[in-house]
Amino acid sequence: MPGIAGIISKHGPSAEWRSRIQSMVECMTHEAFYVSGTYLNEELGLWSGWTCHQEAFADRLPIWNERKDICLIFSGEDFADQADVDALRTRGHNFNSGDASYLVHLYEEMGYEFLEKLNGWFSGVLLDLREHKFVLFNDRYGVNRIYYHEDSRGFYFASEAKALLKILPGTRQLDFRSLGEVLSCLCCEAVLQNRTVFSGISLLPPGSSWVFSRGEPVKKKSYFKRERWESQPQLSESNFYEKLKETWARVLPKYFLGKQPVGLSLTGGVDSRMILAWVPHLAGTLPCYTWSGKYRDCEDVKIARQAAKLCRQPHSTILVGDEFLSQFHDLAEKAVYISDGTMDVTGSIDLYVQ
């Protein structure tokens, strides 16, 4: 999957860091259509790299401000309020439309508090060359994973654990405590306390903003305080409904912006039907699709087809049949491999259809 990787040296440049970061990036390049690159800053002790889809929100890395003293490596997406983006332009900032280039300017205006404005799943590294420091961050729920390992030589991080396993042989063994937790919590297959099943590899906690400065210990900060949300007044049933309706109508259009074509995976579930009902597309312009077995239409197909017809959108049924079954072994292995084990063999359907 697209993501970022990096090595933060504790003892200055090393001839091996360049080749190691290249190995990490290659390890995360799973498809020929991925684009990738590296950014090195020996003065700050950072060797970083990335992979992403061409024309995606995070394409065209690294992202710089006009003075070339703020740099961003980013993975994922941010679904910003257009008013916030427009406000940056009125203040004289120049950036592209439809990608992540406005984020460095949001940092210029707000400092690290800009992270609180982001809405989406993401991770990244932002370098402030004026302050000689940089911050490693992720989204408030940790959906966009960052794995890390630290030893006497450096701090290593990547969106995929396999990128760390590639360059750190000592981590290529199971953590039996974590494995025990997975087997004990079969309902959620969880590993606790931000550990992983790999020895010495941890997950960056959700909502992190870890600040690195040359020669100083990392400052492990968090920009997201759950208490602020949990302490809000409880809504009545009627107020909750009205607030949900207003928020849904305001937020949903953000997810249909961007440069790439959009389609809707439509099932019989209420979530995808709600999206279809409120989608900001003209009739006949949003392709919808549903998976189906080879023998008969399941309820998902029947309901999805009817919902698409009511909303006057085109609908297709994607057959999961003999072709899928002939590829199942390879798809199942790839699903587990790409996801670092966070998906099981059922993820093979996603790889086949998507």
> Looking at the chain, how many residues does it have?
354
159 and 39 in a single domain? The answer is: yes
Domain encompassing residue 343: 323-353
Please report which confidence band the pLDDT of residue 189 belongs to, taking 50, 70 and 90 as the band edges: low
Please report which confidence band the pLDDT of residue 188 belongs to, taking 50, 70 and 90 as the band edges: low
160 and 236 in a single domain? The answer is: no
Higher pLDDT, 297 or 209: 209
Query: What per-residue confidence (pLDDT) applies to 187?
Result: 56
Higher pLDDT, 293 or 188: 293
42 and 171 in a single domain? The answer is: yes
Higher pLDDT, 321 or 164: 164
Query: What per-residue confidence (pLDDT) applies to 343?
Result: 85
Query: What per-residue confidence (pLDDT) applies to 186?
Result: 60
Under DSSP, the state recorded for 354 is -
Of the residues 224, 257, 284, the one at which a domain ends: 224
36 and 176 in a single domain? The answer is: yes
Concatenated DSSP letters for 42-70? TTTTEEEEEEEETTSTT-SPSEE-TTS-E
Concatenated DSSP letters for 83-150? HHHHHHHHTT----SSSGGGHHHHHHHHGGGGGGG--SSEEEEEEETTTTEEEEEE-TT--S--EEEE
Please report which confidence band the pLDDT of residue 176 belongs to, taking 50, 70 and 90 as the band edges: confident
Do 152 and 199 touch, CB atoms closer than 8 A?
no
Structural domain total, the chain: 3
Query: What per-residue confidence (pLDDT) applies to 351?
Result: 87
pLDDT, tens digit (0-9, with 9 covering 90-100), for 320-335: 899 999 999 999 999 9
139 and 170 in a single domain? The answer is: yes
pLDDT, tens digit (0-9, with 9 covering 90-100), for 282-299: 899 999 999 998 888 999
Give the least confident one: 5-19, 61-75, 224-238, 337-351. 337-351
CATH code assigned at 22:
3.60.20.10
Task: Tell me the average pLDDT of the chain.
Answer: 93
Do 171 and 136 touch, CB atoms closer than 8 A?
no
Strand (E) positions, 2-45? 3-9, 34-41
pTM for this model (two decimals):
0.92
Give the residue-averaged pLDDT of 256-266.
Answer: 87
87 and 164 in a single domain? The answer is: yes
Tokens found for residue 301: 């197909």
182 and 236 in a single domain? The answer is: no
Please report which confidence band the pLDDT of residue 98 belongs to, taking 50, 70 and 90 as the band edges: confident
Which H/E stretch holds residue 202? strand 202-203
Do 306 and 268 touch, CB atoms closer than 8 A?
no
107 and 160 in a single domain? The answer is: yes
Tokens found for residue 185: 């919590």
88 and 151 in a single domain? The answer is: yes
Of the residues 203, 224, 245, the one at which a domain ends: 224
CA dihedral (152, 28, 45, 171) in degrees, to 10, reads 0
240 and 92 in a single domain? The answer is: no
Burial class (CB within 10 angstroms; exposed 0-12, middle 13-18, buried 19+) of 316? middle
In the chain, the amino acid numbered 67 is R
291 and 173 in a single domain? The answer is: no
pLDDT, tens digit (0-9, with 9 covering 90-100), for 27-82: 999 999 999 999 999 999 999 999 999 889 999 899 999 999 999 999 999 999 98
193 and 289 in a single domain? The answer is: no
Tokens found for residue 129: 């060359």
* C-alpha span between 215 and 9 (Å, rounded): 10
Query: What per-residue confidence (pLDDT) applies to 103?
Result: 97
* C-alpha span between 201 and 178 (Å, rounded): 11
Query: What per-residue confidence (pLDDT) applies to 180?
Result: 86
pLDDT at position 218 over 80: yes
Query: What per-residue confidence (pLDDT) applies to 184?
Result: 80
In the chain, the amino acid numbered 117 is K
Please report which confidence band the pLDDT of residue 160 belongs to, taking 50, 70 and 90 as the band edges: very high
Q: Is the dihedral of CA 105, 110, 113, 114 positive or negative?
A: negative
pLDDT, tens digit (0-9, with 9 covering 90-100), for 146-155: 999 999 999 9
